[in-house]
Structure formats: structure tokens, C-alpha cells
Structure 1
Amino acid sequence: MIGGLAALLLCQLAGELLARALHLPVPGPVLGMGLLLAALLLGGRVPEAVGTAADGLLAHLGLLFIPAGVGVVLHLDLLAAGAWPIGLAILGGTLLALGLTGLVAQRLLGRR
């Protein structure tokens, strides 16, 4: 499991270094995830150590939401003050994402 965690963290580090070196507007962990995907596709399979580490992280995924929940409770007055714009942004973003996903799915399925 330590080897798998090390591989995941090395991908994150590589992504962070790329993002900072190239001044990209993409977060380093997202680039690291892309690098991990590329490595897994090139390897043709998921190494057992990486799979075990990923399963361990996914088993405790709920714990990662605790800081976000604390932030929401801590800044509840700010969220209440901007409830309408935040609500409209969430609603608009959701509708836009659903619409674009539908259009992309129609185009992809139409090409079959």
C-alpha cells in the first residue's frame, strides 16, 4: 500500500511541478491525475499496489468532506448574504452541464 500511495503522490507532485513550471491555469493535482491516467493506459492495467491504495482512500472518502463542511458552517453568514447569487449559479451551472452533456451524448450516439 505504501508503494501505491507513493505512486499516487508522485503523480500529484509531477502535476504540481508541471502546473507551476508552465504557469498553467489548471490545478497540479488535476494534471497529476491525467499523468496517472496516461501511465495506466500505457501500462494496460492497474498495478495491485495502486489499486489497494485507491481502495483505501475511497473507503474513507467521506472524511475528506469534513473540512468543506466546517468551512460552510464557519462562513454561514457569508453564504446567507449571497444565497440568491450562489443558488442561481448552482442552478444555472447544473442546467448548463446537463444540457451540454445531453448534446454531446446525442452527437456521439448519432455517429454510430
Structure 2
Amino acid sequence: MKLLRQASIILGIYFLGELLQKSLNLPIPGSVIGMLILLGLLYTGVIKLDMIEEISNFLLDHLAIFFIPAGVGLISSFSLLRGNWFAIIAVSFISTIIVLVATGIIVQIILKGGKS
């Protein structure tokens, strides 16, 4: 019953993000808006970590399963991707480097914290 309550919290926030995206016609996906709402609620303490911790760990433990539909989608649209392999690999490589550098910079800023 506890997992059901935690899943209801996560899904409710997700649907709130979707509702805001549709009603305000925002260019940001509703799932991203929902994540930002969840972040704000966790940061302000409206939602405590223990209120969603178990379902979050469950979802993270089974994260690989959520990539199966994306893989099937790539295989089914293989003909569209056939001539664009170089561009796809280049963009993937460059974006990975950008993410690694940005993560490193952010971690350094956080670790320095209030130290001067």
C-alpha cells in the first residue's frame, strides 16, 4: 500500500506538469515541468524524501526496462537513420563531452561551496 501511495504522488505531480504544459501551451514537455515541480516540493519540504523514496529506488533499479521501447523505436525506423549515421554519432559524442564538462564544473562549484 505504501508503494501505491508513493506512486500516486509521483504520478499526480507528473499529470500536473502535463496539465500545465497543455493548458498554458508551453514549449517544455510536461514531464520536465513535473520534475521541476517535484524538485521545488522536495526543496521546500512540502514533500519529504521518505514520502517517495521507495518508489524512486524501485524505478531507478528497473530503469533499463524503460529504454526497451526507445530501442524498438530505433530499430523500426532504421530506414530513416540509415544515411545519417555520421551526424548521429557526432552529435552523440559532442553532447556527451558537453555533459561531462558541465557536470565536472558543477561538481567543482558545489564542492567548493562557501570556501573562498
The TM-score with structure 2 as length reference comes to 0.77
Q: C-alpha root-mean-square deviation of aligned residues, in Å?
A: 2.4
Matches within 5 A, 1:49-68: 50-68=52-70
Paired letter, 1:72:
L
Cα offset for 1:105? 6.3
What residue ranges of structure 2 are gaps of 5+ in the alignment? none
SS at match of 1:16: helix
Q: What is the Cα deviation at residue 38 of structure 1?
A: 1.1
- State the alpha-carbon separation in 2 of the partners of residues 63 and 87 from structure 1: 23
Aligned pair count reads: 110
2:50 aligns to what? 47
Cα offset, 1:99, TM superposition: 4.7
Aligned counterpart for 1:89 among listed residues 88, 91, 99: 91
List per-residue Cα deviations over 1:6-35 (Å, max 9, x = no partner): 000010011111112222111101111111
Paired amino acid for 1:13 = F
Runs of 4+, deviation exceeding 3 Å: 95-106
Distance 1:29 1:5 in 2: 15
Matches within 5 A, 1:1-112: 1-43=3-45, 45-48=48-51, 50-101=52-103, 108=109, 112=116
Match of 1:82, SS state, is helix
Structure 1 unmatched ranges of 5 or more: none
Post-superposition Cα deviations, 1:50-86, rounded to whole Å, max 9, x if no partner, equal 1111122122111101101111222223222111221
TM-score by length of 1: 0.79
Q: Tell me the percent identity.
A: 33
